[in-house]
Amino acid sequence: DAGVTQSPTHLIKTRGQQVTLRCSPKSGHDTVSWYQQALGQGPQFIFQYYEEEERQRGNFPDRFSGHQFPNYSSELNVNALLLGDSALYLCASSLAPGPSSYNEQFFGPGTRLTVL
C-alpha cells in the first residue's frame, strides 16, 4: 500500500504566478482534504473533496481552488501567488465523511512551496 502520495516535493515560484499541487489518496479512500502548514504553525484546513465536489472549505480566499478526479486523486491550485503562500501543503485522505465516528485522516509528506 503506497499510502498518500504528493507531487512535487518542492516547488519555487515567484509572486503572481500560479501553481498546481497533486495528491493521490491511500488505496480505498475516496475523500481528500488539503491543509496549509506555515513554518512553526499547525496545519490549517483549506478544503475537502468528496465525489468530485468541494464539501467543506476553511477560511481561505478564492485564489485557492481544487479538483477531484474520478480516481479520487486531487489537485490544489493557487492563483496570483503571494509571499505569504509559502508553506508546506499537506494532503490527507480518508473514507467518506459522515455523522458517525471520526474517520481517521492519513497524511502525505507534503509539498514545500516557496514564493519569492
Partner 1 sequence: GDSVTQMEGPVTLSEEAFLTINCTYTATGYPSLFWYVQYPGEGLQLLLKATKADDKGSNKGFEATYRKETTSFHLEKGSVQVSDSAVYFCALSEGSYIPTFGRGTSLIVHP
Q: Which parts of this chain interact with partner 1 (CB under 8 A)?
A: 4, 33, 40-45, 48, 56, 58, 90, 92, 97-98, 101-110
Distances (CA, A) of 40 to 22, 43, 57, 87: 23, 10, 23, 10
Count the neighbouring beta carbons within 10 Å of the beta carbon of residue 87. Answer: 20
Decide whether 59 or 71 has the Cβ nearer to partner 1.
59
Nearest-approach distance from CB 14 to partner 1, in angstroms:
26
* Cα–Cα distance, 19 to 16 (Å, whole number): 10
Decide whether 18 or 56 has the Cβ nearer to partner 1.
56
Q: DSSP class of residue 95?
A: S
Nearest-approach distance from CB 37 to partner 1, in angstroms:
9
Decide whether 70 or 99 has the Cβ nearer to partner 1.
99
